[in-house]
Chains A and B, each alone.
Chain A
Amino acid sequence: MSAPGATGAAVPGAAPVLRLTDVVKTFPGVRALDGVQLEVNEGEVHCLLGQNGAGKSTLIKVLAGVHHADSGEISWLGEPFAPATPQAAMRAGIATIYQELDLVDDLSVAENAFLGHEESRFGFTRRRSSAAKTRQILARLGHPEIPARRLVKHLPAAGKQIVSMARALSHDARLIVMDEPSAVLAHDEVANLFRIIRELTAQGIAVIYISHRLAEIREIGDRVTVLKDGRTTAANLPARTTPTRELVGKMTGRSIEYVFPPRRPRDETEPILVVAGLTRHGEFADATLAVAPGEIVGIAGLVGSGRSELLETIFGARRPDSGTVTMDGRRVTGVGGAVARGIGMAPEERKSQALLLDEPVYKNMTLASFSGFAHGGFTDTRDERAAALKTADLLELRPRDVDRPVRTLSGGNQQKVVVGRWLLGGTKLLLLDEPTRGVDVGARAELYQVIRGLAEDGVAVLLVSSEVPEVLGLADRVLVMREGRLIHEAPADELDEDTVLDLVMAGSLLEGEPA
């Protein structure tokens, strides 16, 4: 398709339907959107590019009426636009297809398509007319074979995607926002998705397309806007001709330099953790890696690449389909065994997976070791407090008060509590999943120091992060993970950010992109 948008200019004759100027949205402690500019034309596929946490999700939720912008202007079809509710946004003609498909499994295709604006008469749903209209829409989408009365749970992932799109069309949408629609699709299904998108744009409908896959953006996109830390770093770049290097640079060009502690030369030692051929179907396959005492190994990969699942499997919290985990020469098969062998894990979801939020800091720190402090089954809170306080000092916990409920701590300090938990247990291998998520910049530098300090004391560290600079700056050795496979391994100082990002994002489905 040779869209005129490829030149980077606005589509001739096509007026902008949506324009965002300096849009700001803050959440407590976070400036999620910090001055976003975006311009979308009629009949255009406008791609949004940005790393995790760049603000893409917040942005589309503002458009969908889920969040409300704090300041800035949004104009829609020439009018100021501030949808109060998702329903208002839909009535105005903006439909959103979320990444996690928001379908109700136990309702039919037609019921899902018209969910929230059911056709009814005197409170009774008009099933026949809904089904008929749904059939029309499905035909328009090129999928007349999907039965309107079938329950959504019986459809494959691609079918559900179509239903999501049918819902968007049932609203007479003039702008459809698609958040990583290809993530759940196989190759030929992606081709069909693109065909549908082209039909939509031919009818004048504008599409905002979000994807991590550069190759897709090249194929379907007209223009690209890049977000970074809640700001627009580049707007209206031609999707087909902008060099990858430039796009990646705009995505990652860091506004804040992280301070990483220096690496010290290490003696070659025998690995303490050996993972061989670890596989969980549908999550990751054939993962083989080793970590030595005093070494920090980083896994770089996007959310959904299987890295968290891999870490949890190493920890014994998930059962592998095949492969082995060996710690200190002995097999690890469950969490209990892992902890007993000296493995500790700081999981990705701090609050839901690691902390008892209403319990005091010291009880959270000793959650994995309180039995060790106990005498004959009786806990020794005095010793626990003292040990926790010592660890708190080591980690520079603030405030320095171990009786405070963890809930009242900042994100960075909560993370220190989780890390501190494993220091108390005499941990030999620490698994860190996104250790600095939700942690502010100052506290990050401290956490990096802590992690490096642990390694210098002989602790082996296996670190997962979607922030490439973090992996490169902190780790001694880097593994790159993409779609469930470890595809590359190299010492951290032999890699640079662009290379890793290329590896992480490379168009795995549609190869062959212009560089």
Chain B
Amino acid sequence: MTAEAVRAKKPRQIDDGVIRNLGLVGVLIILVVIGIVTRPELYSDPTWVRNNVLTILQQASAIGVVTVGMTFVIIGGGIDLSVGAIIALSGVWATTLATQSYGAAGMIFTALVVGVAVGVVNGVLISYGRLVPFIATLAMLVSARGLAAQISGKQTQVSANDTINNIASTKLIGIPLLVWMLAAVVAAGWVLLNRTTFGRRTVAVGGNPEAARLAGINVKRHTLMLYALSGLCCGIAAIMLTSQATSAQAAMANLYELDAIAAAIIGGTLLSGGRGTIVGALFGVLVFSTITNLFAINNLSTEVQNMVKGGIIVAAVLIQQFRYRSLTQLLKR
């Protein structure tokens, strides 16, 4: 009887997240249309279009991976301002001459371990040291980059490892390996959030920490794991960026924290925690990289681009505050 009853449930109303994602798809389409209108001669060449799409995706890959981790942290009620700095530290540590002597596996291992370790430090400070996430990760932002500069002696460290360097140029079935990596991380993130106990705990901890605690969930340990997860994503991103540049330096992945937070928020993640989607976050990232691309193909400066980005972030948060119903109320007036 129960199984039947479960199946017989009434059709669910389309939920918020889907509407928002449709909206983001709409934004993407508008951006493409702007591209077609401004540079029709480029869009008339199918090969260029195909390559351009792959370029956009490839540019979105590293920041996309970071955004997945960031989305988990934000849904869990925190924030991680140190992601860019963690990438820099992971990248630099993985490309020291000593690390490079262990080969590609050693470099990848180092990048991941450094990322996770820094994430764990963030998590311990926040969970057990009871620091506000904003402060703890802000301090980490400064000190991790400082350490990266110290290790690299402020020099660009060139990667001499072909396996690493080839990651960025390898294609599988015509699609760059970096894009596959992003796809894999997004898929894993989606499953983790929506189909596992870890994901369920994340939503509970961010949505109502007291209720989660009184339901027997170890809120502190879970919070720690969220920052470790974010660190892991940064480690992966560090490898991707190092491969793309065939080098690493202390200034790499500058302001990634801003892009990742913005993408997660635009994707519908509630800044106060408890709600968010991985797919939305991916769309958020794609919107940003498409804008970047749009400016690039029109030969416009990055300054204008930054201003537009800021405007989009504000608009997205405004929409999040008003939400659909209050917006219609506003229009009725």
The interface bits of chain A over 352-369 (1 if a CB of B lies within 8 angstroms of the residue's CB, else 0) are 111111110001000110
A28 contacts the other chain (CB 8 A): no
Point out the residues of chain B lying under 8 angstroms from A335, CB to CB: 213-214, 216
A340 contacts the other chain (CB 8 A): yes
Interface residue tally for chain A (C-beta within 8 Å):
34
Point out the residues of chain B lying under 8 angstroms from A355, CB to CB: 208, 211
Q: How far is the CA of A371 from the CA of B208 in the complex (A)?
A: 18
A379 contacts the other chain (CB 8 A): yes
The interface bits of chain B over 139-161 (1 if a CB of A lies within 8 angstroms of the residue's CB, else 0) are 00000000000000000000000
A62 contacts the other chain (CB 8 A): no
A-B contact count (CB 8 A): 80
The answer to whether B275 and A374 touch across the interface, beta carbons within 8 angstroms, is no
The answer to whether A317 and B196 touch across the interface, beta carbons within 8 angstroms, is no
Q: How far is the CA of A210 from the CA of B316 in the complex (A)?
A: 49
The one of A339, A359, A386 that contacts B203, using a Cβ cutoff of 8 Å = A359
Q: How far is the CA of A54 from the CA of B278 in the complex (A)?
A: 48
Point out the residues of chain A lying under 8 angstroms from B231, CB to CB: none
The answer to whether A352 and B5 touch across the interface, beta carbons within 8 angstroms, is no
The answer to whether A356 and B2 touch across the interface, beta carbons within 8 angstroms, is no
Q: How far is the CA of A403 from the CA of B10 in the complex (A)?
A: 9
The answer to whether B12 and A386 touch across the interface, beta carbons within 8 angstroms, is no
Point out the residues of chain A lying under 8 angstroms from B199, CB to CB: 379
B3 contacts the other chain (CB 8 A): yes
A336 contacts the other chain (CB 8 A): yes
The answer to whether B215 and A339 touch across the interface, beta carbons within 8 angstroms, is yes
Point out the residues of chain B lying under 8 angstroms from A370, CB to CB: 197, 200
The answer to whether B218 and A356 touch across the interface, beta carbons within 8 angstroms, is no
Point out the residues of chain A lying under 8 angstroms from B218, CB to CB: 336
B212 contacts the other chain (CB 8 A): yes
Residue of B nearest to A366 (CB): B200
Q: How far is the CA of A347 from the CA of B214 in the complex (A)?
A: 8
Known: A356-B204, A358-B275, A386-B3. A374 touches B210 (CB 8 A): no
The answer to whether A386 and B2 touch across the interface, beta carbons within 8 angstroms, is yes
The answer to whether A421 and B215 touch across the interface, beta carbons within 8 angstroms, is yes
Point out the residues of chain A lying under 8 angstroms from B6, CB to CB: 382, 385-386, 389
The one of A345, A352, A401 that contacts B9, using a Cβ cutoff of 8 Å = A401
The interface bits of chain B over 282-305 (1 if a CB of A lies within 8 angstroms of the residue's CB, else 0) are 000000000000000000000000
Residue of B nearest to A355 (CB): B211
A315 contacts the other chain (CB 8 A): yes
Point out the residues of chain A lying under 8 angstroms from B274, CB to CB: 356, 358
Q: How far is the CA of A347 from the CA of B210 in the complex (A)?
A: 10
The one of B12, B197, B208, B211 that contacts A374, using a Cβ cutoff of 8 Å = B197
Name, among B2, B3, B199, B274, the residue most crowded by chain A CB atoms within 10 Å (CB to CB).
B2
The one of B12, B196, B210 that contacts A403, using a Cβ cutoff of 8 Å = B12
Point out the residues of chain A lying under 8 angstroms from B211, CB to CB: 352-356, 367
A377 contacts the other chain (CB 8 A): yes
The answer to whether A403 and B216 touch across the interface, beta carbons within 8 angstroms, is no
The answer to whether A374 and B196 touch across the interface, beta carbons within 8 angstroms, is yes
Q: How far does the Cβ of A394 sit from chain B's closest Cβ, in whole Å?
A: 12
Point out the residues of chain A lying under 8 angstroms from B180, CB to CB: none
In the complex, chain A residues 292-348 whose Cβ is within 8 Å of any chain B Cβ: 315, 317, 335-336, 338-340, 345, 347
The one of B2, B10, B207 that contacts A389, using a Cβ cutoff of 8 Å = B2
B332 contacts the other chain (CB 8 A): no
Residue of A nearest to B212 (CB): A367
A126 contacts the other chain (CB 8 A): no
In the complex, chain B residues 1-35 whose Cβ is within 8 Å of any chain A Cβ: 2-3, 5-6, 9-10, 12
The answer to whether A356 and B203 touch across the interface, beta carbons within 8 angstroms, is yes
A378 contacts the other chain (CB 8 A): yes
The one of A356, A358, A368, A390 that contacts B216, using a Cβ cutoff of 8 Å = A368
Q: How far does the Cβ of B131 sit from chain A's closest Cβ, in whole Å?
A: 21
Residue of B nearest to A364 (CB): B211
Q: How far is the CA of A390 from the CA of B4 in the complex (A)?
A: 12
The answer to whether A401 and B10 touch across the interface, beta carbons within 8 angstroms, is yes
B325 contacts the other chain (CB 8 A): no
The answer to whether B200 and A339 touch across the interface, beta carbons within 8 angstroms, is no
Known: A359-B207, A390-B2. A377 touches B214 (CB 8 A): no
Name, among B5, B10, B197, B214, the residue most crowded by chain A CB atoms within 10 Å (CB to CB).
B214
Point out the residues of chain B lying under 8 angstroms from A386, CB to CB: 2-3, 5-6
Q: Across chains A and B, which 3 residue pairs bring their CB atoms closest together, nearest first?
A: A339-B216, A368-B215, A386-B2
Extra contacts besides A317-B214, A355-B211, A401-B9 (19): CB < 8 Å: A335-B216, A339-B215, A353-B210, A353-B211, A354-B208, A354-B215, A356-B208, A356-B211, A357-B208, A367-B211, A370-B197, A374-B197, A378-B197, A379-B195, A379-B197, A382-B3, A385-B6, A390-B2, A403-B9
